[in-house]
């Protein structure tokens, strides 16, 4: 067992597991293939044999990555929405947070997971992620006065995906691509949300 580097064994285990999950996510972002346990161990600073003390197989590790990433992404979006003021601003915060996710390395992780993880492992967490992700959006739309918040939430998500893909997110210049996606979405949804034509400087 690796030398304990935390006040308790439980904390040490949690730290090592976190390091392995982060290592696996980093490798998935670089290449859409199942990372070897040896490669994950090297990235995390552990021997290959030590990795198996935390995850019995690469499949177990990938399942843990799936269980780890979706709640994190959902929390990131929810936090952005919670920081906004009015219902319209919360809807826009949801849009911006999702565009940023599309531009981040996490999108490469998501694409890699869809290629290397068995569908039966992925489908449940993805469905739950989508349902939870839309909760703050639907709440904001309801407060905004939208008579069909569920349907409108689905339309907004579809627009985010199309605008982000159309702007080639992620791209070599994600900053410029994000601006393109945001500008398109603001032209489409700004009038509906009664937002200023351009965001305040």
> Does 1 map to a domain?
no
What's the mean pLDDT in 54-59?
Answer: 90
The closest of 43, 37, 140 to 87, measured between CA atoms, is: 140
* CATH number where 122 lies: 1.10.357.10
CA dihedral 29, 34, 38, 41 (to 10 degrees): 40
Number of structural domains in the chain: 1
> Does 185 map to a domain?
yes
Which band of pLDDT confidence, cut at 50, 70 and 90, is reported for residue 151?
very high
What's the mean pLDDT in 65-84?
Answer: 90
Percent of the chain with pLDDT over 70: 91
CB-CB contact of 108 with 28 (8 Å): yes
The span from the CA of 97 to the CA of 118, in Å, is: 28
The closest of 120, 105, 113, 157 to 135, measured between CA atoms, is: 157
Is 60 exceeded by the pLDDT of residue 163? Answer: yes
pLDDT of 3 reads 59
> Other C-beta atoms within 10 Å of 13: how many?
15
- For residue 1, the SS3 value is coil
What's the mean pLDDT in 135-163?
Answer: 95
Give me the sign of the Cα torsion angle 78, 147, 151, 125.
positive
> Does 200 map to a domain?
no
> Does 198 map to a domain?
no
- Domain around 47: 9-193
> Does 199 map to a domain?
no
The span from the CA of 148 to the CA of 138, in Å, is: 9
Which band of pLDDT confidence, cut at 50, 70 and 90, is reported for residue 201?
very low
């Amino acid at each position: 067992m690796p030398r304990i580097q935390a006040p308790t064994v439980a904390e040490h285990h949690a730290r090592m597991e976190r390091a392995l999950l982060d290592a696996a996510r980093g490798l998935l972002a670089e290449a859409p293939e199942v990372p070897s346990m040896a490669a994950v161990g090297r990235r995390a600073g552990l021997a290959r044999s030590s990795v198996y003390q935390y995850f019995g197989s690469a499949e177990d590790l990938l399942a843990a990555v799936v269980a780890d990433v979706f709640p994190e992404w959902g929390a990131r979006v929810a936090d952005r929405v919670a920081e906004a003021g009015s219902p319209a601003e919360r809807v826009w915060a949801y849009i911006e947070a999702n565009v940023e996710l599309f531009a981040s390395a996490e999108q490469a992780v998501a694409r890699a997971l869809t290629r290397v993880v068995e569908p039966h492992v992925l489908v449940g967490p993805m469905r739950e992620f989508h349902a939870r992700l839309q909760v703050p959006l639907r709440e904001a739309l309801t407060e905004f006065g939208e008579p069909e918040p569920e349907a409108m939430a689905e339309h907004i998500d579809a627009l985010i995906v199309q605008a982000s893909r159309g702007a080639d997110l992620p791209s070599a210049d994600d900053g410029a691509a994000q601006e393109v996606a945001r500008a398109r979405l603001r032209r489409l949804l700004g009038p509906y949300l009664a937002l200023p034509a351009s965001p305040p400087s």
